[in-house]
A and B are shown apart, each in its own frame.
Chain A
Amino acid sequence: MPLSMANKDKFLKITNIVGGRNVKQRLSALGLYPGSVIKMVTNDFGGPLIVEVNNSKIAIGRGMAQKILVNEI
């Protein structure tokens, strides 16, 4: 499912990032790449969301979050 649909406090594993090289590169530099495990911190369904990866919090715009595919773990 896309990251934008994930619920708060769930642990997620990124399976794929659908998007251009620019998007992929920017995300992976922040530690978000296929295989990394993240936690959803805030998702108010509307506006950006916040995830946690390796102790750091990242705010992601909703549009971009739709391009990140995840599995709940």
Chain B
Amino acid sequence: MNIAFAGNPNVGKTALINAIAGSKLKVGNWPGVTVEKKEAEFKYKGEKIQLVDLPGTYSLSPYTVEERITRDFIINEDPDCVINVIDSTNLERNLYLTLLLMEMEKPIVIALNIFDEFEKSGYKIDLDKFKKYLGIDVIPTVATKNKGLNELMDKAIEVAKSKKHYKEMKYSLLFDRFIENEINKLIEKLKKEKLPNKYPLRWLAIKLIEKDEYIIQILKKETEKDISSLAKEHIMVIEERFNDDTETILTEARYGIINGILKDTLKKPKNYNIPFTEKVDKIVTNKYLGLPIFLALMYIVFKLTFDGSGPFIDWVDGFINGYIGKYVSLALTGAPNWLNSLVINGIIGGVGLVLTFVPLMLFIYFFLALLEESGYMSRAAFVLDKIMHSIGLNGKSFIPMILGFGCNVPAIYATRALENEKDRKLTAVLVPFMSCGARLPIYALFTGVFFVKYQAYVVLLMYILGIAVAIVVGLLLKNTKPFETAKSPLLLELPPYRVPSAKMLFGSMWIRTKAFLRKAGSIILMAMIILWAAINLPYGSTPNNSYLAKAAKVVAPVFTPAGFNKWQAVASVLPGIIAKESVVGALGQTLGVEKKSEKKKTSFIQDTRKQIMGLIKATIDSFRNMFISFTPGIFKIESISNSTFSQKIRTVFTPLSAFSYMVFMLLFIPCIVTLAAIKQEFGWGLMFFEIGLLTIIPYIVSVIVYQGGRLLGFH
């Protein structure tokens, strides 16, 4: 049995679905678009239920992706029942969508959600009369307190089972007699055409009268006929009579119906306002305070996310590479060396890489859900709208950008907070220019060798350069077709502040992290094996004559204009795609600096105990980092103590070419995990575009830097 949930944004639909489906929820994207799709399969009282969460929408016009998805789903997938979740404290607007859904003639049950607040604030509704007017069953629910959920599901199943009758279902809500007359005349005409019977004729007639281009186009494709001409005469008659365009006339007519019902059934309290929301908004959306408050909140989110997840990331890294790796390697004793290396460095290394991101994902998704569900996110968009508008981005784009300074991967996923698809794409394209934490070791190495006195300034310059390049690229892309965003002016609801339930936050955090593991994991693993092959084959080669080194020797002259044409520098670029910090290690290897490896013999039990103790310590450290210490740990720069390394670096780089190399590394592909995140969220197309962009731009900029530097007399 197929049950779809539809409703306005911010009506507690997600909370309701979480409460019903819980851990069974899976999150993905609707095919071809980046709108999040949640679905679940489970058994309820012996009935197999397929639950689908339709995107939150205010209407079913053809103008936004979300609304088209909802429409197409209801028409094409023919759900057995649509549960329309509505905010009972805002019936007038919510019922607008209800009427549109009813026009589609599918079995509907209404969940009158947030009913506790409704009663508390003094509203009264005559439920029986209300149901009779609508001709639909209405169940009061409180998703956050698990109230009314069973009744809702029981009713939905009951309604769904009576499905065969739905075509005979007569909703008693009609437009005024004049409009209704024209609709009926058009229906008669449509009956004579052979149209796919998935379209209810009355709905089709209404859409044609509303001049709905989208449905006209679809019908043209499906039937190779243009039936829009049938409606022309009726559109003219109606527009002449009411002296307005049909879209507006029908919209007002629907609100007329709603107001009629509510007048007879709803008693509003004399003075309804939410004092808490009013008070908070006065401060948070204040002309002067808004921005500082936003920045302070962002700092807190940034700090808690990266400082809190850091110790767990280190622990996971040690657990997979040190502990699991060691014992898998032991188990492979006797196997050929290349196999051992492939398994340990390629496969386990890849799995380890994916898993080290899990703590970060959990933290970031938790805070994103908190910002979103509490209602603050839309205030942030309001506060930032003016600033971000000037560089062609939506106010909410600020959040992924800031997160990008910690790590690009969660930043890519954070673009989910943006409603507009093109805004999301442009933001995701620009995120990699934000200098993430993993690039610091590279800066630390080179500034430690060449710019000891000005270390901090040079590093700061890198951050600023990244932002500057992002702004320039943003301005250039904004006027190209795939990223054109200027046409989406701000229009959004500022929902009342609500305390999100812990269940909801943790649920959202877990299902999204699971999707990351499933979707991004496989791509990363594949890329890791390919990279392993490039770096290590032919097997038994030294860093001097691997395929990578040979290729680097051929490609190196290309980088002459950028100042770093030694093969060691070029060969170290590729491992940087695994993770930027591995550039330092790769340089060490290609330059022939020995790494000291310490191997102490420890027993399995000792090792296991060490891992458990490590996890406990990581938990303690995480709390301490988040709530006690106040200096973000990632900004620490490691000092370079290895003097032979420093000497060898000087044989390959000059100060200017080192600076140019740092610029290249700043702007080059951040890592495969970021690429995998872009693939997961936006598909192959944007990923390859990003690879191209992040290869060409760093080349151009580092050439400009090197040649410009030479002109200024640096070397």
How many residues on B have C-beta within 8 angstroms of the other chain's C-beta atoms? 37
Q: Which residues 379-396 of B have a CB within 8 angstroms of A?
A: 381-382, 385-386, 389
Report the Cα distance A12→B48, complex, angstroms.
51
Contacts of A53 in B (CB 8 A): 93
Contacts of A48 in B (CB 8 A): 382, 385-386, 490
Contacts of A35 in B (CB 8 A): 252, 255
Known: A46-B386, A50-B382, A57-B493. A34 touches B92 (CB 8 A): no
Report the Cα distance A63→B490, complex, angstroms.
9
* Cross-chain contact A25 with B491 (CB below 8 angstroms): no
* Cross-chain contact A42 with B285 (CB below 8 angstroms): yes
Known: A48-B386, A59-B492. A28 touches B248 (CB 8 A): yes
Contacts of A36 in B (CB 8 A): 255
* Cross-chain contact B489 with A30 (CB below 8 angstroms): no
Interface bracket on A: 20 to 34
Closest B residue to A45 using CB positions = B287
Tell me if A71 counts as interface (CB < 8 A to partner B).
no
* Cross-chain contact A61 with B90 (CB below 8 angstroms): no
Mask for B484-525, Cβ within 8 A of A = 1, else 0?
000001111111000000000000000000000000000000
Total of A-B residue pairs, C-beta within 8 Å: 108
Closest B residue to A25 using CB positions = B61
Mask for A6-41, Cβ within 8 A of B = 1, else 0?
000000000000000110111111110111100001
Contacts of B59 in A (CB 8 A): 25-26, 28-29
Mask for B595-634, Cβ within 8 A of A = 1, else 0?
0000000000000000000000000000000000000000
Closest A residue to B378 using CB positions = A59
* Cross-chain contact B252 with A34 (CB below 8 angstroms): yes
Tell me if B682 counts as interface (CB < 8 A to partner A).
no
Known: A22-B63, A30-B491, A31-B93. A55 touches B272 (CB 8 A): yes
Question: Could you jot down 28 A-B contacts, CB within 8 Å?
Answer: A24-B247, A25-B59, A25-B61, A26-B63, A26-B64, A28-B59, A28-B252, A28-B255, A29-B57, A29-B58, A30-B58, A33-B248, A33-B251, A34-B248, A35-B255, A42-B281, A46-B386, A47-B385, A48-B385, A48-B386, A50-B285, A50-B494, A53-B93, A58-B493, A59-B382, A59-B385, A59-B491, A59-B492
- A-side residues, CB < 8 A to B, are 21-22, 24-31, 33-36, 41-42, 44, 46-48, 50, 53-61, 63-64
Could you list 13 further interchain pairs (A-B, Cβ under 8 angstroms) beyond the known A57-B281, A61-B491? A24-B247, A25-B59, A25-B61, A25-B63, A26-B63, A31-B92, A31-B255, A33-B248, A36-B255, A44-B287, A55-B90, A55-B273, A60-B489
- B-side residues, CB < 8 A to A, are 57-59, 61, 63-64, 89-90, 92-93, 96-97, 211, 245, 247-248, 251-252, 255, 272-273, 281, 285, 287, 378, 381-382, 385-386, 389, 489-495
